[in-house]
A and B are shown apart, each in its own frame.
Chain A
Amino acid sequence: MKNNKLSILLRGIIQENPVLILVLGTCPTLATTGNVISALSMGLAATFVLVCSNAVISALRKIIPDTVRIPCYIVIIAGFVTILQLLLQAYLPSIYDMLGVYLALIVVNCIILGRAEMFARKNPIANSVLDGLGMGLGFLVALLAMATVREVLGAGSFAGIVLPFMDEIKIPILTQAPGGYLVFGILIAVMNKLTEKRGGVKKKSFSCEGCPSAAACKGGCDVKTEEKEENVNV
Protein backbone atom coordinates (compact mmCIF):
# COMPACT_ATOMS: atom_id res chain seq x y z
CA MET A 1 0.00 0.00 0.00
CA LYS A 2 2.82 2.37 1.00
CA ASN A 3 4.82 1.35 -2.07
CA ASN A 4 1.80 2.03 -4.25
CA LYS A 5 1.43 5.56 -2.85
CA LEU A 6 5.16 6.19 -3.20
CA SER A 7 5.10 5.01 -6.81
CA ILE A 8 2.20 7.41 -7.55
CA LEU A 9 4.28 10.25 -6.12
CA LEU A 10 7.53 9.32 -7.87
CA ARG A 11 6.00 8.44 -11.24
CA GLY A 12 5.59 12.08 -12.23
CA ILE A 13 9.19 12.97 -11.49
CA ILE A 14 11.01 10.61 -13.90
CA GLN A 15 8.95 7.79 -15.42
CA GLU A 16 6.08 10.03 -16.55
CA ASN A 17 7.73 13.43 -16.28
CA PRO A 18 5.10 15.81 -17.71
CA VAL A 19 7.61 18.00 -19.55
CA LEU A 20 10.40 15.68 -20.67
CA ILE A 21 8.49 12.43 -21.25
CA LEU A 22 4.85 13.43 -21.90
CA VAL A 23 5.93 16.73 -23.55
CA LEU A 24 3.07 18.68 -21.92
CA GLY A 25 3.20 22.30 -20.71
CA THR A 26 5.77 23.27 -23.33
CA CYS A 27 4.63 26.92 -23.54
CA PRO A 28 5.39 27.90 -19.89
CA THR A 29 8.47 25.66 -19.97
CA LEU A 30 10.04 27.61 -22.82
CA ALA A 31 8.80 30.99 -21.58
CA THR A 32 9.75 30.89 -17.91
CA THR A 33 13.10 29.07 -17.96
CA GLY A 34 15.20 32.10 -18.89
CA ASN A 35 16.19 32.34 -15.23
CA VAL A 36 16.00 30.05 -12.21
CA ILE A 37 13.79 32.31 -10.06
CA SER A 38 10.97 32.51 -12.63
CA ALA A 39 11.22 28.75 -13.30
CA LEU A 40 11.00 28.02 -9.56
CA SER A 41 8.01 30.36 -9.21
CA MET A 42 6.17 28.83 -12.15
CA GLY A 43 6.90 25.29 -10.93
CA LEU A 44 5.59 26.02 -7.44
CA ALA A 45 2.53 27.86 -8.77
CA ALA A 46 1.62 24.97 -11.09
CA THR A 47 2.20 22.44 -8.26
CA PHE A 48 -0.17 24.37 -5.98
CA VAL A 49 -2.90 24.42 -8.63
CA LEU A 50 -2.30 20.74 -9.53
CA VAL A 51 -2.59 19.53 -5.93
CA CYS A 52 -5.65 21.66 -5.11
CA SER A 53 -7.54 20.95 -8.35
CA ASN A 54 -6.76 17.22 -8.20
CA ALA A 55 -8.04 17.08 -4.60
CA VAL A 56 -11.30 18.92 -5.35
CA ILE A 57 -11.99 17.09 -8.63
CA SER A 58 -11.36 13.75 -6.92
CA ALA A 59 -13.68 14.70 -4.03
CA LEU A 60 -16.44 15.66 -6.50
CA ARG A 61 -15.86 12.78 -8.93
CA LYS A 62 -19.10 11.01 -8.01
CA ILE A 63 -21.16 14.21 -8.20
CA ILE A 64 -19.90 15.73 -11.47
CA PRO A 65 -21.88 14.30 -14.42
CA ASP A 66 -19.79 13.06 -17.36
CA THR A 67 -21.45 15.43 -19.85
CA VAL A 68 -20.30 18.60 -18.06
CA ARG A 69 -17.08 17.33 -16.51
CA ILE A 70 -14.70 19.45 -18.64
CA PRO A 71 -16.53 22.78 -17.91
CA CYS A 72 -16.60 21.82 -14.21
CA TYR A 73 -12.85 21.06 -14.21
CA ILE A 74 -12.09 24.35 -15.98
CA VAL A 75 -14.15 26.35 -13.45
CA ILE A 76 -12.38 24.63 -10.53
CA ILE A 77 -8.89 25.06 -12.05
CA ALA A 78 -9.60 28.70 -13.03
CA GLY A 79 -10.82 29.36 -9.48
CA PHE A 80 -7.55 28.13 -7.95
CA VAL A 81 -5.45 30.01 -10.51
CA THR A 82 -7.33 33.25 -9.78
CA ILE A 83 -6.88 32.75 -6.02
CA LEU A 84 -3.15 32.23 -6.60
CA GLN A 85 -3.00 35.33 -8.82
CA LEU A 86 -4.69 37.49 -6.17
CA LEU A 87 -2.42 36.18 -3.41
CA LEU A 88 0.76 36.71 -5.46
CA GLN A 89 -0.39 40.18 -6.57
CA ALA A 90 -0.96 41.15 -2.94
CA TYR A 91 1.95 39.48 -1.15
CA LEU A 92 4.62 38.69 -3.79
CA PRO A 93 4.16 41.39 -6.45
CA SER A 94 7.64 40.91 -7.95
CA ILE A 95 6.87 37.23 -8.69
CA TYR A 96 3.44 38.27 -10.06
CA ASP A 97 5.09 40.77 -12.43
CA MET A 98 7.80 38.28 -13.39
CA LEU A 99 5.38 35.52 -14.41
CA GLY A 100 3.03 37.97 -16.16
CA VAL A 101 0.53 36.36 -18.51
CA TYR A 102 1.95 32.86 -17.93
CA LEU A 103 0.42 32.81 -14.46
CA ALA A 104 -3.09 33.17 -15.88
CA LEU A 105 -2.24 30.63 -18.59
CA ILE A 106 -1.90 27.91 -15.93
CA VAL A 107 -5.70 27.57 -16.41
CA VAL A 108 -5.14 26.04 -19.83
CA ASN A 109 -1.98 24.12 -18.91
CA CYS A 110 -2.54 20.64 -20.34
CA ILE A 111 -0.72 18.97 -17.43
CA ILE A 112 -3.40 20.14 -14.99
CA LEU A 113 -6.43 19.34 -17.15
CA GLY A 114 -4.72 16.12 -18.25
CA ARG A 115 -4.23 14.87 -14.66
CA ALA A 116 -7.81 15.81 -13.78
CA GLU A 117 -9.12 13.81 -16.72
CA MET A 118 -6.70 10.87 -16.56
CA PHE A 119 -6.26 10.43 -12.81
CA ALA A 120 -8.23 12.57 -10.36
CA ARG A 121 -11.66 11.70 -11.72
CA LYS A 122 -11.01 7.97 -11.29
CA ASN A 123 -9.08 7.84 -8.00
CA PRO A 124 -9.59 8.67 -4.30
CA ILE A 125 -8.51 12.02 -2.83
CA ALA A 126 -5.23 10.90 -1.18
CA ASN A 127 -3.95 9.26 -4.37
CA SER A 128 -5.03 12.26 -6.47
CA VAL A 129 -3.19 14.67 -4.16
CA LEU A 130 -0.05 12.49 -4.41
CA ASP A 131 -0.41 12.35 -8.19
CA GLY A 132 -0.76 16.16 -8.34
CA LEU A 133 2.25 16.59 -6.06
CA GLY A 134 4.36 14.14 -8.08
CA MET A 135 3.44 15.70 -11.41
CA GLY A 136 4.00 19.19 -9.98
CA LEU A 137 7.42 18.20 -8.66
CA GLY A 138 8.24 16.61 -12.02
CA PHE A 139 7.28 19.86 -13.74
CA LEU A 140 9.33 21.85 -11.22
CA VAL A 141 12.41 19.62 -11.59
CA ALA A 142 12.25 19.85 -15.40
CA LEU A 143 11.87 23.65 -15.30
CA LEU A 144 14.74 24.00 -12.81
CA ALA A 145 17.04 21.75 -14.86
CA MET A 146 16.31 23.73 -18.01
CA ALA A 147 16.55 27.13 -16.30
CA THR A 148 19.86 26.19 -14.65
CA VAL A 149 21.43 25.27 -18.01
CA ARG A 150 20.02 28.39 -19.71
CA GLU A 151 20.91 30.87 -16.97
CA VAL A 152 24.34 29.49 -16.04
CA LEU A 153 25.57 28.97 -19.60
CA GLY A 154 23.56 31.80 -21.18
CA ALA A 155 23.77 34.62 -18.65
CA GLY A 156 26.71 33.51 -16.50
CA SER A 157 24.63 33.67 -13.33
CA PHE A 158 22.54 31.42 -11.09
CA ALA A 159 19.31 32.77 -9.56
CA GLY A 160 20.58 36.28 -10.30
CA ILE A 161 23.97 35.71 -8.59
CA VAL A 162 26.74 36.42 -11.08
CA LEU A 163 29.24 33.55 -11.50
CA PRO A 164 32.55 35.31 -12.22
CA PHE A 165 34.23 32.33 -13.94
CA MET A 166 31.29 32.02 -16.37
CA ASP A 167 31.27 35.65 -17.47
CA GLU A 168 33.73 35.24 -20.33
CA ILE A 169 32.40 31.98 -21.75
CA LYS A 170 28.64 32.59 -21.59
CA ILE A 171 26.44 31.91 -24.65
CA PRO A 172 23.74 34.64 -24.59
CA ILE A 173 21.50 32.95 -27.19
CA LEU A 174 20.64 30.29 -24.60
CA THR A 175 18.57 32.85 -22.65
CA GLN A 176 16.56 33.65 -25.79
CA ALA A 177 13.87 31.64 -27.59
CA PRO A 178 16.18 29.64 -29.94
CA GLY A 179 18.34 28.65 -26.96
CA GLY A 180 15.20 27.54 -25.12
CA TYR A 181 14.25 25.15 -27.93
CA LEU A 182 17.83 23.86 -28.13
CA VAL A 183 18.11 23.10 -24.41
CA PHE A 184 14.59 21.61 -24.39
CA GLY A 185 15.52 19.23 -27.22
CA ILE A 186 18.79 18.21 -25.55
CA LEU A 187 17.06 17.53 -22.20
CA ILE A 188 14.37 15.41 -23.93
CA ALA A 189 17.13 13.43 -25.67
CA VAL A 190 18.96 12.89 -22.35
CA MET A 191 15.70 11.80 -20.69
CA ASN A 192 14.94 9.39 -23.56
CA LYS A 193 18.39 7.88 -23.18
CA LEU A 194 17.90 7.47 -19.42
CA THR A 195 14.46 5.86 -19.73
CA GLU A 196 15.70 3.63 -22.57
CA LYS A 197 18.18 2.08 -20.14
CA ARG A 198 15.35 1.43 -17.72
CA GLY A 199 13.48 -0.57 -20.34
CA GLY A 200 11.84 2.30 -22.19
CA VAL A 201 8.42 3.83 -21.74
CA LYS A 202 5.72 1.26 -22.32
CA LYS A 203 3.10 2.20 -24.84
CA LYS A 204 -0.31 2.37 -23.31
CA SER A 205 -3.49 1.40 -25.07
CA PHE A 206 -5.97 4.22 -24.70
CA SER A 207 -9.62 3.46 -24.09
CA CYS A 208 -12.47 4.93 -26.11
CA GLU A 209 -13.90 6.56 -23.00
CA GLY A 210 -12.48 10.02 -23.56
CA CYS A 211 -12.53 9.95 -27.37
CA PRO A 212 -14.97 12.35 -29.05
CA SER A 213 -15.39 9.93 -31.99
CA ALA A 214 -16.12 6.90 -29.79
CA ALA A 215 -19.79 6.66 -30.72
CA ALA A 216 -19.09 6.76 -34.45
CA CYS A 217 -16.11 4.41 -34.74
CA LYS A 218 -17.17 1.70 -32.26
CA GLY A 219 -13.71 0.82 -31.02
CA GLY A 220 -11.97 1.12 -34.37
CA CYS A 221 -8.68 2.14 -32.79
CA ASP A 222 -8.51 -1.02 -30.67
CA VAL A 223 -9.29 -3.19 -33.69
CA LYS A 224 -6.63 -1.46 -35.79
CA THR A 225 -4.06 -1.74 -32.99
CA GLU A 226 -4.77 -5.44 -32.59
CA GLU A 227 -4.50 -5.97 -36.37
CA LYS A 228 -1.15 -4.16 -36.43
CA GLU A 229 0.16 -6.25 -33.54
CA GLU A 230 -0.94 -9.43 -35.31
CA ASN A 231 0.84 -8.34 -38.51
CA VAL A 232 4.00 -7.59 -36.57
CA ASN A 233 3.88 -11.02 -34.91
CA VAL A 234 3.45 -12.72 -38.32
Chain B
Amino acid sequence: MKNKLMPTIVLTCICIIVALLLAVVNTITAPKIEQLQYEKEQAALAKVYPGGNNFVDISTDRLPASVTKAYTEDGGGYVFQMTVTGYKSGLIIMCGIDPDGNVTGADFIKSSETLSAEIGLGQSYIGQNSDSFEPILVSAATKTTNAYANAIKAALEAYEILADKEGK
Protein backbone atom coordinates (compact mmCIF):
# COMPACT_ATOMS: atom_id res chain seq x y z
CA MET B 1 0.00 0.00 0.00
CA LYS B 2 2.85 2.33 0.94
CA ASN B 3 4.55 1.64 -2.40
CA LYS B 4 1.35 2.44 -4.28
CA LEU B 5 0.73 5.72 -2.47
CA MET B 6 4.32 6.97 -2.36
CA PRO B 7 4.58 8.10 -6.04
CA THR B 8 1.31 10.05 -5.74
CA ILE B 9 2.35 11.71 -2.49
CA VAL B 10 5.82 12.68 -3.79
CA LEU B 11 4.48 14.08 -7.07
CA THR B 12 1.75 16.02 -5.24
CA CYS B 13 4.26 17.47 -2.76
CA ILE B 14 6.61 18.55 -5.57
CA CYS B 15 3.69 20.20 -7.42
CA ILE B 16 2.61 22.07 -4.25
CA ILE B 17 6.16 23.31 -3.50
CA VAL B 18 6.69 24.45 -7.11
CA ALA B 19 3.28 26.19 -7.11
CA LEU B 20 4.12 28.02 -3.86
CA LEU B 21 7.48 29.09 -5.25
CA LEU B 22 5.82 30.39 -8.41
CA ALA B 23 3.23 32.26 -6.33
CA VAL B 24 6.03 34.04 -4.44
CA VAL B 25 7.89 35.00 -7.64
CA ASN B 26 4.63 36.09 -9.27
CA THR B 27 3.79 38.31 -6.29
CA ILE B 28 7.18 40.00 -6.59
CA THR B 29 7.15 40.45 -10.38
CA ALA B 30 3.42 41.10 -11.09
CA PRO B 31 3.39 44.87 -10.30
CA LYS B 32 6.50 45.45 -12.42
CA ILE B 33 5.07 43.43 -15.35
CA GLU B 34 1.75 45.30 -15.09
CA GLN B 35 3.58 48.64 -15.12
CA LEU B 36 5.63 47.63 -18.19
CA GLN B 37 2.50 46.45 -20.02
CA TYR B 38 0.79 49.76 -19.26
CA GLU B 39 3.77 51.70 -20.63
CA LYS B 40 3.87 49.48 -23.72
CA GLU B 41 0.15 50.06 -24.30
CA GLN B 42 0.55 53.83 -23.92
CA ALA B 43 3.45 53.80 -26.41
CA ALA B 44 1.31 51.84 -28.89
CA LEU B 45 -1.59 54.29 -28.42
CA ALA B 46 0.72 57.26 -29.02
CA LYS B 47 2.07 55.58 -32.16
CA VAL B 48 -1.34 55.07 -33.81
CA TYR B 49 -2.73 58.39 -32.56
CA PRO B 50 0.17 60.89 -32.62
CA GLY B 51 -0.47 63.89 -30.39
CA GLY B 52 -3.25 62.15 -28.46
CA ASN B 53 -3.53 62.90 -24.74
CA ASN B 54 -4.97 61.08 -21.75
CA PHE B 55 -6.26 57.87 -23.33
CA VAL B 56 -9.18 56.44 -21.33
CA ASP B 57 -10.42 52.87 -21.67
CA ILE B 58 -14.15 52.74 -22.62
CA SER B 59 -16.69 49.93 -22.95
CA THR B 60 -16.81 47.90 -26.19
CA ASP B 61 -20.50 46.94 -25.76
CA ARG B 62 -22.44 47.35 -29.01
CA LEU B 63 -19.19 47.69 -30.99
CA PRO B 64 -18.26 45.08 -33.65
CA ALA B 65 -17.22 41.75 -32.09
CA SER B 66 -13.61 42.01 -33.29
CA VAL B 67 -13.11 45.27 -31.34
CA THR B 68 -11.67 44.10 -28.03
CA LYS B 69 -10.62 47.44 -26.56
CA ALA B 70 -11.57 51.06 -27.16
CA TYR B 71 -10.10 54.31 -25.87
CA THR B 72 -11.12 57.97 -26.08
CA GLU B 73 -8.68 60.84 -25.85
CA ASP B 74 -8.99 64.48 -24.81
CA GLY B 75 -9.28 65.84 -28.36
CA GLY B 76 -12.34 63.65 -29.17
CA GLY B 77 -10.57 60.95 -31.16
CA TYR B 78 -10.66 57.22 -30.60
CA VAL B 79 -8.25 54.30 -30.63
CA PHE B 80 -9.59 50.78 -31.19
CA GLN B 81 -7.87 47.46 -30.65
CA MET B 82 -9.07 44.59 -32.85
CA THR B 83 -8.37 40.87 -32.55
CA VAL B 84 -8.71 39.20 -35.94
CA THR B 85 -7.62 35.98 -37.66
CA GLY B 86 -5.03 35.96 -40.43
CA TYR B 87 -3.17 32.72 -41.06
CA LYS B 88 -3.52 32.11 -37.34
CA SER B 89 -5.91 33.47 -34.74
CA GLY B 90 -4.85 36.16 -32.30
CA LEU B 91 -3.67 38.84 -34.71
CA ILE B 92 -4.01 42.07 -32.69
CA ILE B 93 -4.12 45.39 -34.54
CA MET B 94 -4.57 48.90 -33.10
CA CYS B 95 -6.06 51.77 -35.10
CA GLY B 96 -6.48 55.46 -34.25
CA ILE B 97 -9.32 57.60 -35.65
CA ASP B 98 -9.47 61.39 -35.30
CA PRO B 99 -12.68 63.37 -34.40
CA ASP B 100 -13.43 63.76 -38.16
CA GLY B 101 -13.41 59.99 -38.67
CA ASN B 102 -10.08 59.75 -40.48
CA VAL B 103 -7.55 57.02 -39.69
CA THR B 104 -4.51 58.52 -37.91
CA GLY B 105 -2.45 55.33 -37.86
CA ALA B 106 -2.56 51.58 -37.40
CA ASP B 107 -0.07 48.99 -36.25
CA PHE B 108 0.36 45.35 -35.24
CA ILE B 109 0.35 44.86 -31.47
CA LYS B 110 0.73 41.08 -31.50
CA SER B 111 1.26 38.71 -34.37
CA SER B 112 2.35 35.09 -34.79
CA GLU B 113 2.54 35.45 -38.56
CA THR B 114 5.60 35.91 -40.73
CA LEU B 115 5.38 39.60 -41.51
CA SER B 116 7.31 41.33 -44.26
CA ALA B 117 5.65 44.05 -46.38
CA GLU B 118 2.60 43.87 -44.06
CA ILE B 119 4.53 45.76 -41.34
CA GLY B 120 4.04 49.03 -43.23
CA LEU B 121 0.33 48.50 -43.96
CA GLY B 122 -0.75 50.89 -41.18
CA GLN B 123 0.82 53.85 -43.00
CA SER B 124 -1.21 53.06 -46.14
CA TYR B 125 -4.54 53.46 -44.32
CA ILE B 126 -3.78 56.91 -42.87
CA GLY B 127 -6.43 59.45 -43.93
CA GLN B 128 -9.05 56.89 -44.95
CA ASN B 129 -12.55 57.15 -43.46
CA SER B 130 -15.85 55.24 -43.64
CA ASP B 131 -16.75 56.80 -47.02
CA SER B 132 -13.36 56.48 -48.65
CA PHE B 133 -12.41 53.10 -47.14
CA GLU B 134 -10.63 50.90 -49.64
CA PRO B 135 -8.97 47.66 -48.55
CA ILE B 136 -5.27 47.50 -49.41
CA LEU B 137 -4.61 43.96 -50.60
CA VAL B 138 -1.75 42.25 -52.39
CA SER B 139 -4.19 39.63 -53.70
CA ALA B 140 -7.50 38.18 -52.52
CA ALA B 141 -5.57 35.19 -51.16
CA THR B 142 -3.34 37.12 -48.77
CA LYS B 143 -4.84 36.35 -45.41
CA THR B 144 -2.85 38.82 -43.29
CA THR B 145 -3.70 41.82 -45.47
CA ASN B 146 -7.36 40.69 -45.59
CA ALA B 147 -7.39 40.45 -41.80
CA TYR B 148 -5.77 43.91 -41.59
CA ALA B 149 -8.42 45.38 -43.88
CA ASN B 150 -11.19 43.76 -41.80
CA ALA B 151 -9.66 45.21 -38.63
CA ILE B 152 -9.56 48.75 -40.06
CA LYS B 153 -13.13 48.35 -41.33
CA ALA B 154 -14.26 47.24 -37.84
CA ALA B 155 -12.51 50.27 -36.31
CA LEU B 156 -14.31 52.62 -38.73
CA GLU B 157 -17.64 50.92 -37.95
CA ALA B 158 -16.96 51.27 -34.23
CA TYR B 159 -16.19 54.96 -34.74
CA GLU B 160 -19.51 55.44 -36.62
CA ILE B 161 -21.44 53.74 -33.78
CA LEU B 162 -19.78 55.91 -31.12
CA ALA B 163 -20.09 59.09 -33.24
CA ASP B 164 -23.82 58.42 -33.76
CA LYS B 165 -24.22 57.89 -30.05
CA GLU B 166 -22.58 61.22 -29.32
CA GLY B 167 -24.55 62.93 -32.12
CA LYS B 168 -21.47 63.99 -34.13
Contact = CB atoms under 8 A, between A and B. Distances in A.
Q: Do A and B associate with each other? A: yes
Contacts, number: 49
Main secondary structure of the interface of B (DSSP, over half): helix
A93 interface: yes
A79 B36 CA distance: 23
A135 to B, nearest CB: 22
Contacts of A75: 11, 14-15, 18
A85 to B, nearest CB: 9
Interface residues on A, range: 20 to 34
A199 interface: no
Contacts of A71: 11
A83 B10 contact: no
A76 B7 contact: no
Main secondary structure of the interface of A (DSSP, over half): helix
A67 B7 contact: yes
Contacts of A72: 10-11, 14
A126 interface: no
Contacts of B25: 82-83, 86-87
Interface of A: 60, 63-65, 67-68, 71-72, 75-76, 78-79, 82-83, 86-87, 89-91, 93
Interface of B: 6-8, 10-11, 14-15, 18, 21-22, 25-26, 28-29, 32-33, 36
